[in-house]
Amino acid sequence: EGFWRLSKLGVDVEKDPGKDFLGVSDALLEQIAKVLEFPVSAMLPAEAFTVVRKSFDARKFLKVPKFVYTVDMDVEKLLRFEPRLWDFISELEPEVGLVEHMPGEKVSGDLIHILRDCKKDQEGSALGESGNGIELGNAYKISSIQKPKVAVVGSGPSGLFAALVLGELGADVTLIERGQPVEQRGRDIGALVVRRIIQSESNFCFGEGGAGTWSDGKLVTRIGKNSDSVQAVLRTLVHFGAPRSILVDGKPHLGTDKLVPLLRRFRQHLQGLGVTIKFGTRVDDLLVEGAVIKGVKVSDVTATLPSCSEDWMYDAVVLAVGHSARDVYQMLLSHNIDLVPKDFAIGLRIEHPQELINSIQYAGLAAEVQRGRGKVPVADYKVANYLGGEGVESSYGSESRGCYSFCMCPGGQVVLSSTNPTELCVNGMSFSRRSSKWANAALVVTVSAKDFQTLDFHGPLAGVGFQYVSRSQTPPSFVNIAVFCYNNEALIFHASVRDLGSLVPVPDAATLERELEQRAATMGGGNFVVPVQVVTDFLESKTSAACVPPSSYRLGVRAASLHELFPAHITKALQESILMFDEELPGFISKEALLHGVETRTSSPVQISRNSTTYESTSLNGLYPVGEGAGYAGGIVSAAVDGMYAGFAVAKNLGLGTSEI
Ligand code: FAD
């Protein structure tokens, strides 16, 4: 009885019906029969099997590229059809490729339905399986009479999922977003790409759906793609219009064209739940009494005249602002909120012709790609290199570090991801077909907090400056201390005024990011023109000739000396890693490969400390930092999962639902 899971079933590419077919083909049945050691595959009932994952594997050591399947087998259905099959499956051990279905892996329906059923079921009754930590299947009682008021700040994936859970559980939710709804945001991004007009509050980073909307829409995550929480997020996306294939695909992907209508439906659903959505409204400050949050100070960013700010009162504030909202970090520091520096990564975005990547990865099969319309998926890649080692005083700085590809966008384009004209950083996006001529990916080097802490305040430093950051408190409780080093890197440390006698510096890595983005803007010559360098020139540390190969970036590129953009050890790490990547992917170093500067916003440089169970800030009661900006997620799916868990935690803390949550 029940389900059994069969994994790693490989079907040769020429026998498979292709990437878009998610059913059980004869070729797949043959593989299943092989695992079951059942002699006649044609006697297996296809309806007893469900494909739960399908990936394409073209790694070099395979003689023939394969589609690799994970399949669930409904034992009852199978035996009803052919009872003699029991003789074949009863003896099988999990080690031989047949894994019994874990009860925790079974998802009892999508989040929306579960929550809606819970709401109807005021008495509470068992609704099915429970997940890992997030008790999806348990009953929730909606017990409170007066609805608690919750502000969710930011409508990226983390904010949307927090608002969804809280709305479903009966909170009085206001979703506050500084940017515009997707319709207006699309027009603002159009004006940026065509007429170079940037709206500081409505762009590739700010607006409905957050940074992930005009993105590649990759839904891959490192937090376990089959976990209940990830499945709940994916099923919720399907509920709002994403194709069902994302539940099965080994590398699920949406693309901007699918994300925009999906977000519109998400918004309508939230409004149907009674969630108030305020676009064009920026949270400028927190209202705090004692150690408890009382609300937020907001301003209307669309007002033509300087508008007065307003105080809005709430019982709890979920802070889901992403990591491009650097003003929010400054504001948090003014309230003595704990911010802990964490490792992050900086580098460049490399772009190749997609056909080159197809031929590197697929060789003779490359012709099957046909710009996303063919049988096999557009080729991607993932590369990583580890530099230095423990106790090694390496030339990459005192720390060992990694260099790796990140956010690879096959069939995509390079886009601007800065929010103000004096800074310049890039990222990648694509449409669902992934049919552009280009393949781009970030190549980034890890930068650890120790990179800053090893700096001596006296010896090598040319000067120390002070800059007040607090806007609301007199005297300010925190100051920034700018430290200028030999190589003109401006690094800024925060320190308490009270502690000036005994400085314990906290590095402000966001300042390093900003500094690099300003340098990139200068190298590009302004007007959002991106500085670029042919990869072969970057390796030789020489400026590229003015006439560089074409780029997908729409606002223009200019040949520059990107090898001079970073501190020397970062450049060296990139150069040596690119040489390694070429060994793995021969042809990666090419006259046609163009590096674009600068890729800085790969993850948050700080973490806002919070309690691991209640999700509440360790420094301020009622504040719930979530998602990428708070340092708890990296990517669309993990941010959504974090927002969802936070939604349940906030609901529980506010007495919404039962202790089962
Ligand atoms: P965000 O999505 O950044 O959302 C934060 C929201 O808060 C924003 O809408 C912002 O306007 C709002 N906000 C900020 N400050 C305030 C304030 N003071 N008041 C009110 N509102 C505020 N990830 C993937 O997994 N796959 C991809 O393919 C992918 N591609 C990407 C491509 C691009 C161009 C970019 C920029 C990012 C990409 N990412 C991708 C990363 C992904 O978008 C983020 O990891 C994810 O969106 C983080 O979600 P979040 O909810 O934590 O924050």
Query: What pLDDT score does 307 carry?
Result: 66
- Residue 178 CB less than 6 A away from ligand 1: yes
Reading the block at residue 321, the tokens are 């602002």
Q: Under 8 Å CB-to-CB from 373, ≥6 apart: which residues?
A: 433, 435
Site to probe by mutation for ligand 1, drawn from 202, 407, 409 as the one with most ligand atoms within 8 Å of Cβ, is 407
Which of 140-149, 237-246, 571-580 shows the lowest mean pLDDT across its residues? Answer: 140-149
Query: Do 386 and 253 have their domain in common?
Result: no
Nearest atom within ligand 1 for CA of residue 253: 28
Domain that holds residue 240: 148-338+607-653
Angstrom distance (rounded) from CA 307 to CA 299? 7
pLDDT in tens, 269-299: 999 888 999 999 999 999 999 989 999 999 9
Query: What pLDDT score does 389 carry?
Result: 54
Which protein residue's CA is at the shortest distance from atom 36 of ligand 1?
A: 211
Q: Under 8 Å CB-to-CB from 615, ≥6 apart: which residues?
A: 624, 626, 645, 646, 649, 650
Domain membership of residue 129 (yes or no) is no
Domain membership of residue 249 (yes or no) is yes
pLDDT in tens, 532-565: 999 999 999 998 888 899 999 999 999 999 999 9
Nearest atom within ligand 1 for CA of residue 212: 43
Query: Do 45 and 166 have their domain in common?
Result: no
Angstrom distance (rounded) from CA 486 to CA 507? 17
User: Which residues on adjacent β-strands are paired with residue 56?
Assistant: 67
The answer to whether 565 and 519 are in contact (CB under 8 A) is yes
- Residue 408 CB less than 6 A away from ligand 1: no
Query: Do 296 and 420 have their domain in common?
Result: no
The answer to whether 626 and 162 are in contact (CB under 8 A) is yes
Identity at 456, one-letter amino acid code:
D
- Residue 179 CB less than 6 A away from ligand 1: yes
- Residue 19 CB less than 6 A away from ligand 1: no
Query: Do 244 and 371 have their domain in common?
Result: no
In this model, does residue 73 exceed pLDDT 90?
A: no
The answer to whether 216 and 253 are in contact (CB under 8 A) is yes
Domain membership of residue 552 (yes or no) is yes
Query: Do 266 and 323 have their domain in common?
Result: yes
Q: Across all residues in the chain, what is the average pLDDT?
A: 79
Domain membership of residue 280 (yes or no) is yes
* CATH code of the domain covering residue 331: 3.50.50.60
Angstrom distance (rounded) from CA 563 to CA 212? 29
State if pTM tops 0.90: no
Site to probe by mutation for ligand 1, drawn from 160, 177, 413 as the one with most ligand atoms within 8 Å of Cβ, is 177
Site to probe by mutation for ligand 1, drawn from 155, 318, 636 as the one with most ligand atoms within 8 Å of Cβ, is 636
Number of neighbouring beta carbons within 10 Å of residue 229: 24
The answer to whether 471 and 334 are in contact (CB under 8 A) is yes
In this model, does residue 216 exceed pLDDT 70?
A: yes
pLDDT in tens, 12-54: 999 999 888 888 999 999 998 888 888 888 888 999 988 877 8
Q: Which residue has the tokens 């197809």?
A: 358
pLDDT top residue among 64 and 627: 627
Share of the chain above pLDDT 90, in %: 44
- Residue 412 CB less than 6 A away from ligand 1: no
Mean pLDDT of 302-319: 88
Query: Do 52 and 79 have their domain in common?
Result: yes
Query: Do 157 and 248 have their domain in common?
Result: yes
Domain membership of residue 466 (yes or no) is yes
The answer to whether 640 and 157 are in contact (CB under 8 A) is yes
Q: At which of 84, 105, 126 does a domain end?
A: 105
Angstrom distance (rounded) from CA 37 to CA 29? 12
Query: Do 49 and 69 have their domain in common?
Result: yes
Q: What separation in Å is there between the alpha carbon of 204 and the centre of ligand 1?
A: 9
Q: What separation in Å is there between the alpha carbon of 213 and the centre of ligand 1?
A: 8
Domain membership of residue 113 (yes or no) is no
Helix (H, G, I), strand (E, B) or coil at 478: strand
Domain membership of residue 201 (yes or no) is yes
- Residue 434 CB less than 6 A away from ligand 1: no
Q: At which of 504, 539, 573 does a domain end?
A: 504
pLDDT in tens, 381-393: 999 998 875 444 4
The answer to whether 192 and 613 are in contact (CB under 8 A) is no
Query: Do 500 and 367 have their domain in common?
Result: no
Q: What separation in Å is there between the alpha carbon of 304 and the centre of ligand 1?
A: 26
Nearest atom within ligand 1 for CA of residue 158: 51
pLDDT in tens, 473-519: 333 344 444 443 333 344 444 444 333 333 333 335 566 777 889 88
Query: Do 465 and 536 have their domain in common?
Result: no
pLDDT in tens, 422-455: 889 999 998 888 989 999 999 999 886 565 544 3
Nearest atom within ligand 1 for CA of residue 626: 52
Query: Do 489 and 517 have their domain in common?
Result: no
Report how many domains make up the chain: 4
Q: Under 8 Å CB-to-CB from 272, ≥6 apart: which residues?
A: none
Query: Do 557 and 582 have their domain in common?
Result: yes
Domain membership of residue 111 (yes or no) is no
Q: What separation in Å is there between the alpha carbon of 210 and the centre of ligand 1?
A: 4
